[in-house]
Amino acid sequence: MHYHVLGLGPVGCLLAHNLRRVLPSTHGISLIHKTRLNELALLEKGSIQVDTYGAVTTSGGFLSETFENTNQSLQQQEGDRAQDLKHIQSLFVALKAQHTVNALKSLTYRLSANSTIVLMQNGMGLYEQLIRDVFRNPSQRPHFILACNTHGAFTTRPFHVVHAGIGSIDFGIAPDSQGRDFEAGFYDENIPHSQRRPRLSDITSPTDVGSARYTSLRDTVAALLLLEPLSTSWKTYAELRLIMRRKLAVNAVINPLTALMGCRNGELTRLPFASRTMHMICWEASLVYAAEMRRESTLWLEDMQSRGVDSKDVTLPSLPKSLTTECLEDEVVRVAQLTKNNVSSMLQDVRRGKITEIDYINGYLINLGRELGVRTPVNTVLCDLVKMRYHIPLDQML
C-alpha cells in the first residue's frame, strides 16, 4: 500500500510523521510538495521532526513529488516505479479548505474509484462541493473519509513541527455510492451493545469479490487506527457530522473575531461585548442545525412511507442538546480558554494577506441557512468583514 500526503503545513507534517512511525517500511509514503524549493528543503533536511512538549522524534524515508509538476517528478523515478506512483491509492489532504478543490481537480487523472481521499480541513461543505463539482460520477468516485482534527501544531522552520496541543482525530467514512454498509459493526444486534465496534471486515475481506474497489479504503482506515499518538477514533458518519457541527460553531466564533480584532483566542472570553457576539453566532448556528435536522427527518419519514412502512407512531428526533445555543457557547468558551495563547489560523492568514477559510466556516452556515430559510445576519456580517480585511490589510498605512 502506498500513501500520499498533500499539504505539508503543521497538520500535514504531523500526520506524515506519525504515519511513517507506525507503518512498516514496505508501505511507501510520498509527500506532495507545493514547489521544488519545498521538496529540496526536505531532501536537505532528510527528515521531519516533531517536538511534543520537549520530546523530539524524527521520521524519514519519505518519497517526494512537486505539486507544480508531478509528471516531471514521477518521470525522474524509474519507469515501473513511476507507474506505480502515478496512481494514487490513498491521499491524505491537509490543505486548507479554500485550496483543496483546485488541488484535487489537478490530481483527478491519478485518482480512481479504487482510491481513497482523507479530508482533514476545518469547516464543512467541502465534501459536498467535491462530489458536486469534481467527482460527479458516483461509480467513478473515490472513497472519502472525513476527519475532524483538534490537535494544535505549528512550524518553527521547514519540517520542524511543534505539537503544542494534544487533541484527537475523529473520522468517519462517507456513505458508499454502491450501497455497502461500512458501519454494520456499530449496530450488529447479534452482539451485546457494549461490545459493538466498527469492523474492518465490513469494508472488505480477502474473500470479497469486490475487494479491488475497497482495499485502499480498508487499508487507509487501518492506518488511521494505528495512529495512537494522535488519538484517532472511527465514528459513524452521523456521529462525525455532529462532532463537525460543534467544531464549526467554535471556529465560526473564534476564527473571524480573532482575525478582525488581531488578538489571541483567550481575549474573547474576557469581554462582555465578545460574549454577546458569541451568543448570536451560536444562536444562528443552532437554528440552522435544527432546520437541517428537521429536513433530514422529513426526508427519512417520506422514504419510510414510500416503502409502505406505517409511520404514524414514529417519533422524529429532536435537536441534540450538544447543538443547542447554550452548549455551543460553553464549547466555544472551553476551547478559547484551552487555546488562550494561540493565534488562530484565520488571523495568521489575514496577517499574511492570504485568502481565509471563512467560506467553509461562517459561509457554510450562511449558505445552509439560505437554503433552509433561516436568516443568519451576524454570520453574514462577520463573513463580509473578514473578506474586507483580506482586501484591507491590518498593516496598511494611512
CA 221 – CA 2 distance, rounded (Å): 13
Please enumerate in sequence order all residues whose Cβ is within 8 A of that of 123, keeping only pairs 6 or more positions apart, or say none. Answer: 97, 248, 251, 357, 359, 360, 361, 364
34 in active site: no
Which is the catalytic residue, given 247, 312, 321, 387? 247
Q: Which residue has the cell 458516483?
A: 138
Residue 263: alpha-carbon gap to chain centroid:
25
**Which residue(s) pair with 145 in the sheet?**
118, 173
387 — phi, psi (to 5°)? -70, -35
CA 294 – CA 106 distance, rounded (Å): 37
CA 144 – CA 216 distance, rounded (Å): 11
List residues with catalytic annotation.
247
